[in-house]
Chains A and B, each alone.
Chain A
Amino acid sequence: MSVSIHPMRKYMRTHVTATTTCPGCGNGIVTQAILRAIEELALDMEDFVFVSGIGCSAWIPSPLFAADTLHTTHGRPIAFATGVKLCLPEKNVLVASGDGDLTAIGGNHLIHACRRNIDVTVVLVNNGIYGMTGGQTAPTTPRGVTTITNPYGTLEHTFDICAMAGAAGASYVARWTTYHPRQLRRSIRRGIQKKGFALIEAVSQCPVQFGKVTKMGKAVDILRHFKENSIRVEKARDQEMDVLEGKIVVGEFVDVDKAELSAEWVRLNRQLTEDLS
């Protein structure tokens, strides 16, 4: 019997043979998008430090990836990653974490990392729900759906993470869904290459919690919803607001070049130590 080995297995710790991911979860698609982007860039896992927070998608790199993996506290991976990147400016620092982790409890760190334009690539997996804790409302939950903590329907508006990241100063901002794995992979590749803060939002399906509490169904139903309701940013720009209600605007929102914090520190340290000698 021949044994087929997944082409991305080479990037994973050999002793890790299971993940915490539920059947039908979008984490697998995002995991592949990250690893295939690294392969396409011909980078080594030793070129990376992966940092994650708390929540389902924080388990994407940890402990799976055969690399330095720093699994931090809830909401704080970007704060940890900032310290790592400033001290290891030559490494790629990639944060993989969820919408609750990075925009609710950790929202302030995300805002300031965008503003600092530190060269960290954030893959933000947005499943629109608190999955690990059992289907509570997230800042990203679509308005009006029912959740465990909004049994009468959510009353609050939904967080537009990409608009916030762009406004706060990120160098690269993109959004795709797990229905767009190739585009997602290309954007992650671009984010890793970008010398500056890159946020790639991956809108992802959570059939076990989101699908159940919002009654949106199984993985395939949610992916079909992504397919039918995604609209490219170029097309969305010409649309009226009411047409965009309930749509997922996908594509690249920001792609600019500007001074990056870790490089600024290298420059400043060099300049000051030369002054000294």
Chain B
Amino acid sequence: MNNKKRLMTGTHFLMGNFACAEGTIAAGCGFVSGYPITPASEVVNRLAQRIPQLGGIFLQTEDEISAICSAIGASWTGRKAMTATSGPGISLMQENIGFALATETPLVIVDVQRLGPSTGVPAIGVSGDMVQVARGSHGDYQIIALSPASPQEMFDLTIRAFNLAEEYRVPVFLMADAFVGHMREQVIIPDEDQLEIVDRKTLKSGVDPRDPMKRQDFLDVDVAPMPILGRGFRAHVTSSCHDEHGMRNLSDPEIMDRYVLNPIHKILKKRHEIVQLEADYSGAEIALVSYGTVSRSAKAAAQLARQEGLKVGTLRLVTCWPFPDAEIRQMAESVELVLVLENNTGQIYPYIKSEAAHACRVEFLGPKILGQIHEPEYIVSHIKEMVR
């Protein structure tokens, strides 16, 4: 595909990482930065070719720290910005993920996960970053993370990630992995008018006061309009504890409280709109809970189990953060066993258990060999053992 059109409407056979790049373009992204890393490189490789033709900028940075910092800088100029990486890059980005949160910067971070710890195995898809994206930067905060299960969703959820980032002024993570990133499947790119694209609220030139002390730029639980740099607003942007005007304050406990809590409440207040799930456990006694690539196995396993007369259903977390706690509780109260399937040693499992264990039995099942996708037959045989 060497097409120079912006939106490549049509039906394609596309690699997941390429579909993510096309989603980035469809969402209207104008600045992409990145540092080469397996298994995420194809996202930026493609954007390096496509984005400049569309008036956007691609910057290959000296490291992932610079990738996220330059993207945050670009976002403050009003452009939609993104960077793509894998676990080691996320580790390097953590400090400035915190900066983006503290300054309420819209940003999309694509994480095509791989086996860790450390350099680990670059091309093996293990969901190793599910907690580090939510808890890895210091301090308390709330991010949004979406977990795609197909190349089609690498397109669709990339657009949703941009929309959420813009709507809530928050970094949003697309939690892919090497499997879904390198998987090739049918991807349908719709017409322009079928796409829902959200742009951030910004201060309008010539209308608002030129002094941040006369307006609210930050800490609004209903999301303050962004005072874009370069438009004469004389905005002050700092990740140090600040008030509604963006001015640093290290002495007023009430401002400290709002500095931490308001950006969290901003997301949790709209949790019901952000959380996206696929639930198919009505009448089931056993629910398989999963996300991302593994949810494909979970669906196949549930089908197999039902053929064998077992009452097995599924719950797939499309949104992993904010954590869908109410939905997990609701599910737990209608089944007897929750089996959590993850391609790791159980990163989301404790969060699910804490919401479900009051109502039913909760177990974890990793793949037979870490880094391989759960085989449906393997899942079914474990279900049989558990209910025997």
Which residues of A are interface residues toward B (Cβ below 8 A)?
Answer: 13, 15, 45-46, 49, 51, 62-63, 66-73, 76, 79-84, 86-88, 91, 108-109, 111-112, 265, 268-269, 272-273, 275-276
Q: Which residues from B are CB-within-8-Å of A111?
A: 62
- Chain A residues, Cβ within 8 Å of B239: 71-73
Write the chain A residue with the least CB distance to B248: A63
* Complex Cα spacing A63 to B33, Å: 28
Contact B229 A83 (CB under 8 A): no
Which residue of the partner chain B has the closest CB to A16? Answer: B247
In contact, B70 and A79 (Cβ under 8 angstroms) = yes
Given contacts A70-B238, A83-B31, A273-B55, 9 further A-B contacts (CB under 8 A): A68-B229, A71-B236, A76-B65, A83-B70, A86-B57, A86-B74, A265-B52, A272-B53, A273-B54
Interchain CB contact under 8 A, A83 and B237: no
Q: How far is the CA of A80 from the CA of B234 in the complex (A)?
A: 17
Is B61 engaged at the interface, CB distance under 8 Å to the other chain?
yes
> Please, which residue of chain B has its CB at the minimum distance from the CB of A46?
B232
Residue numbers in A under 8 Å from B52 (CB-CB): 265, 268-269, 272
Report, nearest first, the 10 A-B pairs whose CB atoms are least far apart.
A83-B73, A83-B70, A79-B69, A87-B77, A71-B238, A83-B74, A80-B73, A79-B66, A84-B73, A112-B62
B99 contacts the other chain (Cβ, under 8 Å)? yes
Distance from B84 Cβ to chain A, minimum over Cβ atoms (Å):
15
Nearest chain B residue, comparing its CB with the CB of A44: B232
CA distance A73 to B237 in the complex (A): 11
The tally of CB-CB contacts under 8 A between chains A and B is 131
Q: Does A79 lie within 8 Å of B238, measured CB to CB?
A: no
Does B230 lie within 8 Å of A83, measured CB to CB?
no
B73 and A70 within 8 A (CB): yes
Which of B30, B213, B237, B248 lies in contact with A87, CB distance below 8 A?
B30
Q: B233 an interface residue at 8 Å Cβ cutoff? A: yes
Q: Which residue of B lies closest to A47 (CB)?
A: B230
Min distance, Cβ B367 to any Cβ of chain A, angstroms: 38
Docked Cα-Cα span, A83 to B59, in Å, equals 9
> A76 to B77, alpha carbons, bound, how many Å?
17
Cβ–Cβ < 8 Å partners of B63 in chain A: 108
> What 0/1 pattern do residues 54 to 85 of B give for CB contact below 8 A with A?
11110101110110011111111111010000
Q: Contacting A83 at CB < 8 Å: which of B69, B236, B247?
A: B69
Minimum CB distance partner of B30 in chain A: A87
How far apart are B232's CB and chain A's nearest CB, in angstroms? 5
Question: Across the interface, which residues of A come within 8 angstroms of B57, CB to CB?
Answer: 86-87, 265, 269
Alpha-carbon gap, A83 to B33, bound state (A): 9
Check B31 against A108 for contact (C-beta < 8 Å): no
By a CB distance below 8 angstroms, the chain B residues around A49 are: 229-230
Question: In the assembled complex, which residues on chain A have CB atoms less than 8 Å from the CB atom of B72?
Answer: 80, 83
* Beta-carbon contact of B65 and A79 below 8 Å: yes
B-side contacts of A79, CB under 8 Å: 61, 65-66, 69-70, 73
Assembled-state Cα–Cα distance A109/B61 (Å): 9
What residues of B have a CB within 8 angstroms of the CB of A272 in the complex?
52-53
Q: Which residues of B contact A273 (CB under 8 A)?
A: 53-55
Flag if B96 contacts A70 (CB, 8 Å).
no
Assembly CA distance A82 to B69 (angstroms):
9
Chain A residue numbers with a CB within 8 Å of B240 are 71
Residue of B nearest to A68 (CB): B229
Tell me if B53 and A276 are in contact (CB < 8 A): yes
Asked if B272 is at the interface (CB within 8 A of a chain A CB), the reply is no
Contacts of B54 in A (CB 8 A): 273
Docked CA distance A176–B77 (Å): 33
Q: Does any Cβ of A come within 8 Å of B95's Cβ?
A: yes
User: In the complex the two chains form, is A82's CB within 8 Å of B66's CB?
Assistant: yes
The answer on a CB contact under 8 Å between A108 and B62 is: yes
> Which residues of chain B have C-beta atoms less than 8 A from A87's C-beta?
30-31, 57, 73-74, 77-79
